[in-house]
A and B are shown apart, each in its own frame.
Chain A
C-alpha cells in the first residue's frame, strides 16, 4: 500500500528502555520524514533525511535520533524512552522536485511508554 511500511505497528515499552521504529519504502524516494501525532498538537516533524546518511532535525528532535544507511530504510530511535514520547509516529516519503512536494504517509506506529 503506497510503497511505505512501518514496523512495529504497535509497541508498549517501559520508561528508560531503547526503542527503534523502522520505515521502509519501495519507491526509491530521496526524502524521508518522521512525524509524531498528538491530540491538540497535530503532526510535528521530528527528523528528516534528504539522502543516505544525510539527516536534519525537525521541530521536536530532542530525545530522538535517526539513521539512514540505505535509501529504502529510515530508522527512528528513542535512546531512553519517556512517557512524554507516548504517541503515534508516522513516516512519510517524498520525491520532491518541481510539482512533487507531496508526502505519502505510512500507516503509523503507536508507541506507549509506561
Chain B
C-alpha cells in the first residue's frame, strides 16, 4: 500500500521567512511525487513534480529516497503563498494524497 504523510496541519510564518512543508511517503516501487496547491476558492492545481526538478513560484522540492521524503521549500515566503498544500504519490494508476498542510503567511 502507498501512503503519504504530512505531519503539519497548519504552518504559520511571517512574510520573508523561510518555509518548509514536510512530506514523507511509503511505497514499495520507484516513487513519483508531486506537490499540489489549492488557493482559496480555486481548484487544485499542480505546483511541481520531482521528475521535473524545477522551481515554481520560488518553491523547490527534492526527493530523498533514503529518508523517503519530499519536502517543499521556499527561502522567502510571500503573502500570496497562503494556501493549502498537498503532497501526492503516484502509484498503481492513481494519485494518493496526504492530508494537506495549510500555509498562512502573515504580513
Tell me which residues across on chain B come within 8 A of A20, comparing CB atoms: none
- Cβ contact within 8 Å between B93 and A96: yes
Tell me which residues across on chain A come within 8 A of B34, comparing CB atoms: 102
Question: Can you list 23 A-B pairs, Cβ within 8 angstroms, ordered by A?
Answer: A2-B43, A31-B93, A33-B94, A35-B97, A42-B86, A42-B97, A42-B98, A42-B99, A43-B100, A44-B97, A45-B94, A45-B95, A45-B96, A50-B93, A58-B94, A59-B96, A90-B43, A101-B32, A101-B90, A102-B34, A103-B46, A104-B46, A107-B43
Number of interface residues of B (CB under 8 A): 20
Q: Is A89 interfacial (CB-CB < 8 Å)?
A: no
- Cβ contact within 8 Å between A41 and B43: no
Q: Which of B45, B95, B98, B100 has the most CB of A within 10 A?
A: B95
Report B25-78 residues with CB < 8 Å from chain A CB. Answer: 32, 34, 43-46, 49, 51
Please give the distance in Å from A54's CB to the nearest CB on chain B.
11
Chain A contact patch, size range: 20 to 34
**Which partner residue on chain B sits nearest A45 by CB separation?**
B94
Listed in ascending order, the chain B residues whose CB lies under 8 Å from chain A are 6, 9, 32, 34, 43-46, 49, 51, 86, 90, 93-100
Q: Is the interface of B mostly helix, strand, loop or mixed?
A: strand
A51-B93 Cα distance, complex, nearest whole Å: 12
Known: A48-B94, A50-B93. A105 touches B44 (CB 8 A): yes
Chain A 9-49, CB-CB to B under 8 Å as 1, else 0, gives 00000000000000000000001010100001111110010
- Cβ contact within 8 Å between B95 and A103: yes
Please give the distance in Å from A87's CB to the nearest CB on chain B.
14
- Cβ contact within 8 Å between A42 and B100: yes
Tell me which residues across on chain A come within 8 A of B97, comparing CB atoms: 35, 42-44
If A90-B44, A102-B34 are given as contacts, then 20 extra A-B residue pairs at C-beta distance below 8 Å, sorted by A number, are: A31-B93, A33-B94, A35-B97, A40-B99, A41-B99, A42-B86, A42-B97, A43-B86, A44-B97, A45-B94, A48-B94, A58-B94, A59-B96, A90-B43, A99-B51, A102-B49, A103-B46, A105-B44, A105-B45, A108-B43
